[in-house]
Chains A and B, each alone.
Chain A
Amino acid sequence: MLLKMKTLMTMALVSFSLSAAQAASLADLETGRYTFSSGEKHVCNDFTVTESMKTAKRIMIGGFYGYEILKSDYIRESDLDETCEFHEQNRVNTNDNGDMVLLRINEEFCKGNLRSKTVSEATIRAGEISVRHQVGGADYTCIWKK
């Protein structure tokens, strides 16, 4: 019963968050091939920005870093441990320089305690995309230039 209520609450939260979400636009994103410039090379793959990515609701940068281009919140029960659940937030912000900043936060809670947290932030400028990624005590960047 508790599990059903939890599932209903989860669904309600996801539904509410998505309905309240406002999709942002990547219309100014420059298309083309972005190549690694600096950072942790083995986790910063080169990638291509295509025209379709400019209107996508979700983009993948550098092979590992995915962001939703809207405000969204998800809570999903773990399929691996029934005492755990995964939380995710996606946000679209603008920094002081007027650059678009995509933020994604992933957390795992087990029995109410935070087990792990990942914060990933992508900054989109003209001709340059950078990611700052914090996970497991590591804090590193990837910078790609067109």
Chain B
Amino acid sequence: MITKKVPKLLLSSVLSTFLLAGFSGKEKYVELTGFLNGRENANFSGNANIVSVLRKGTQGEIIARATLPSGNIGYQILVTEGPATGKFWVYHNIKNSDLKLYEQKPTKQNPAPKETTATATARAVETVRDTAAVPSNKNTSAPKAAEKKTELVKPNDSRAVVEAINKTNDRVGAVGTLCTDCLAPRAGKDSLLAAPGSRRQSQACSSFMNSQGEIGPDGQTVFNLMASEPYAKLFTAKNALGNFCPKFNTLNDTQKLQAWTWFWTSLAMEESSCDPQRIHGTTYKDRNGKIRILNPTEGYGLWAMERDRNRRAWRGDACTNISTVYGQAKCSIDIMAKTQLERGRTAKVSSGGYWGPVHRGDSQLMPHMKRMRQCF
């Protein structure tokens, strides 16, 4: 018993000393102007610890800092405003940074303080480009660094901080009434979804929205993308979901994007059983063994985007990389925006759209969509 306790105590003392040794006490704030993975710890080598994708404009109080073996930095931030709230670790590559660093915290008087490149004296950071964020449990590349050293930061002046953060969030926010509790479970009659009918969903779809209507991490990614510019206005516009959600115009923006999140979940179910690595073939053999055409182009992933990178090149930057759920969501949301919503069409089209299940909406998607209580 003693032999077990002594190493624990020793380890605890050493760790405490080690963790506090590098604490500068100066870093206090972060601001993200691009999408970043929010992780539950400072291990940036895998995807399993990603709990949310933080959207542009998210600000938070820095509560810890980790110096990684590569020399790069991980910041733990406390986010109190926006669609994803809580504590998250975000990655800062000092040589090829996604963040701007600030010498001073943002205040009412000085919401955009002077930039600095010195991470040790930085008091606030801001991302300067979108980062290819990946969801949990997907095999994709990520910065190869492991947790090494954590420096705790004393929270002080927290009220002024939160106030400044909230004000800036208000300024950059795309949609006025985004949910702050998307991940909260809603049981029974408060659930977003009614009981499944004839068409059930794959277990894998729970990462988007489970059968209790609880939005999962991939669903939050989809939600956040639709809430960002330039999509927010299109996806919350009048009748955007068409007949898939008859009460759409009575919903607030958060509810509208929840309904849309269920739409993408349902479409992923019909296209791929929510498998982000599904290959959608081009042909099949009929009963007589004759090869018949199924799709003119091989598809890939949750929403059957073109697998051949050349064949989707004309779609632009949004579809450059579909190797992650984030990339697939971005490409699909962009296709929906450009081929339907920007042209004054709704989600429900019988021809000219990208997705077959959308064309066959009444038989394929409607049984799912009718479960969304706030739509019917």
Which residues of A line the B interface, CB within 8 A? 40, 43, 45-46, 58, 63-66, 74, 76-80, 86-88, 106, 108, 116, 118, 120, 133, 135-138, 140
B297 at the interface (CB under 8 A from A): yes
Q: Name B290's closest neighbour in chain A (CB-CB).
A: A138
Can you list, as one digit per residue, whether each of B331-374 has a CB less than 8 Å from chain A (1) or not (0)?
Answer: 00000000000000000000110000000000000000000000
Minimal Cβ-Cβ distance residue in A for B301? A80
> Which stretch (B8-16, B74-82, B233-241, B320-328) binds chain A?
B320-328
Supposing A65-B296, A79-B321, A80-B323 touch, asked if A137 and B314 sit within 8 A by C-beta, the answer is: no
Whether the pair B298, A64 counts as a contact (CB closer than 8 A) is: no
Query: Could you tell me the distance between the alpha carbons of A121 and B297 in the complex, rounded to whole angstroms?
Result: 14
Complex Cα spacing A118 to B300, Å: 16
Measured between beta carbons, the chain A residues less than 8 angstroms from B283 are 135-138
- Do residues B293 and A135 form an inter-chain contact, with CB atoms below 8 A? yes
Residues on A with C-beta less than 8 A from B300 are 80
Contact B293 A86 (CB under 8 A): no
Contact of B293 among A40, A76, A77, A78 (CB under 8 A): A40
Kindly report which residue of chain B lies nearest to residue A79, judged by CB atoms: B321
- A88 CA to B311 CA, complexed, in Å: 9
Complex: chain B residue closest to A45, CB-CB: B351
B310 at the interface (CB under 8 A from A): yes
Does A135 contact B296, Cβ atoms closer than 8 Å?
yes
Secondary structure of the A side of the interface? strand
Within B269-314, the residues touching A (CB, 8 Å) are: 281-283, 291-293, 295-298, 300, 307-311, 313-314
Residues of chain B contacted by A140 (CB below 8 angstroms) = 293
List B contacts of A43 (CB < 8 A). Answer: 293, 295-296
Q: Are B322 and A79 in contact (CB under 8 A)?
A: yes
CA distance A87 to B271 in the complex (A): 27
Q: Which residue of the partner chain, among A45, A66, A74, contacts B352 with CB atoms under 8 Å?
A: A45
B310 touches A76 (CB 8 A): yes
Docked-complex contact B309 and A78, CB < 8 angstroms: yes
Give 28 A-B contacts (CB < 8 Å), ordered by A residue.
Answer: A40-B293, A43-B293, A43-B295, A43-B296, A45-B352, A46-B351, A58-B314, A64-B297, A65-B296, A66-B311, A79-B320, A79-B322, A79-B327, A80-B300, A80-B322, A86-B308, A87-B310, A88-B310, A106-B308, A106-B310, A118-B296, A133-B293, A133-B296, A135-B296, A136-B283, A136-B291, A137-B291, A138-B293
Shortest beta-carbon distance from B311 to chain A in Å: 6
B302 → chain A closest CB, angstroms: 13
Complex alpha-carbon distance, A135 and B284, angstroms: 11
**Cβ contact within 8 Å between B314 and A138:** no
Contact status B298-A116, CB under 8 Å = yes
Q: How far is the CA of A1 from the CA of B16 in the complex (A)?
A: 42
Contact yes or no, B296 A79, CB < 8 A = no
Task: Give CA–CA (A140, B283) in the complex, Å.
Answer: 11
